[in-house]
Structure 1
Amino acid sequence: MSNTPPQGSEIKIDTLNGHQHILVPHGKGGTMRYFIGLFLLFWMGCWFIGFTIAFSQISSGEGDAFLIFWLGGWTVGGLFAGYMIYRVFQKSIPEQLLLNRPSLSLDTGVPPLKIDFGMHSQKDYWKSIFPKRKRIEFTPSELKTMELRETDNGNRLTIDKGAERVEIATGATEIEREWLFGYLQRNYSIQVN
């Protein structure tokens, strides 16, 4: 098996602090998100007009309790829309693996916002909107749990960290994950179960 990623792969291998450093891009996220981003930018213009009118009425003493309540909800909606605009146009940060033997360091990076109307669970939807960047250090004994698992949706490359099963190279293709599995096995002398 080759020490270079498969032909056409966007995976990059370089050196960081004297250790092999692998960058696995998360993908593009699709063009639908830009249409939603443009809509939200237009909506924020309208939001600003509504906010300005309501705030000026309350400031002049003409606003009642309902307008104050409405302005509070409008403000929360504007903050959420502003965050969504940020997520839509936020540049993706690739997943990174640092082969600092005998350990392996993982930085999950930040995937782009993916608009998928077919998401099967609310949990997956909220995780895509509010991604958590994790930095995980795998010990040699944890690396022995590395496995390429076949599922109905393709393969998954995983390493167990305590009670958590951590998925590696989530943005990679199946062929790239197979290559990465072999590459890590060779570099850490891990035997296949």
Structure 2
Amino acid sequence: MITPQLPSGSLIQVERTTNGLKLNWKNPDNPFLRVSISGFLLFWLGGWTVGGILAMQMLWKSYQESIPFSLFLLFWLGGWAFGEISVIVSLSQILRGPSRSLLSLGYRDIQYIPGRVPLSFFDFNLVQRSQMSNWNLWSNQKPFSAQKQEVQNLQLTTVVQYLRLSFDVGTRRIEIGTYLSEPEKEWLYQVMKKWLHT
């Protein structure tokens, strides 16, 4: 399949394989924001951990002295454990940073791995795009694969000043390249149109 020329400055990488085309691109990143938020979360985690240790010591002391447990303290420790785990998971995602999206256009099938965008909920532009594409801001879109004949209704549409490249697989609407620039989406649309008709 002959692909059109990539837009100038595009970060999309194209690889021809024996099964078709593999395209990949880096998802957006803001290192300063990642470091700042990571520093704050580490500081918060330190204070949160100290508070949890103090609460456990109070419960242990009550147990040793045969004093009834404080229900509030038990309830607080449950919330504390949930908060601690949530922050550790979020921190690990933020420190790992974004990952690359991968789109494989095979002769008979398509596979898409959208990759991580861990700070999308801190960037207004990314939030707008995520809301328009019905993304969950706290998790990443799931990878999918389908047979070529299942891909229907490929379209490039404008939704409130945002260009969306999508297609349907059964009852599911899939958006590709949410964070690509408009020229890159237009290029990808042409590539996918050719792929569907070869």
The TM-score bracket by the shorter chain reads 0.7 to 0.9
In structure 2, C-alpha distance between the alignment counterparts of 1:126 and 1:103, rounded to whole Å: 24
2:169 — aligned with what?
A: 161
2:136 — aligned with what?
A: 127
Contact 2:115 2:140 in 1 (8 A): no
In structure 1, C-alpha distance between the alignment counterparts of 2:39 and 2:52, rounded to whole Å: 20
Unaligned stretches of 5+ residues in structure 2: 64-68
Change (3 A) 1:16 1:79: farther
Deviation at 1:49, TM superposition (A): 1.0
1:13 — aligned with what?
A: 14
Calculate percent identity across the aligned residue pairs. Answer: 24
Is residue 2:193 matched to residue 1:185?
Answer: yes
Contact 1:103 1:137 in 2 (8 A): yes
Deviation at 1:129, TM superposition (A): 1.4
Count, aligned residues: 188
Unaligned stretches of 5+ residues in structure 1: none
Deviation at 1:2, TM superposition (A): 5.7
Bigger share in helix: 2
2:78 — aligned with what?
A: 72
2:113 — aligned with what?
A: 107
TM-score (norm: length of structure 2):
0.80
In structure 1, C-alpha distance between the alignment counterparts of 2:158 and 2:70, rounded to whole Å: 61
In structure 1, C-alpha distance between the alignment counterparts of 2:27 and 2:118, rounded to whole Å: 7
How well do the aligned residues superpose, as a CA RMSD in angstroms? 2.8
Is residue 2:136 matched to residue 1:136?
Answer: no
What is the identity, as a one-letter code, of the residue corresponding to 1:145?
A: N
TM-score (norm: length of structure 1):
0.82
Contact 1:25 1:171 in 2 (8 A): no
Change (3 A) 1:133 1:55: same
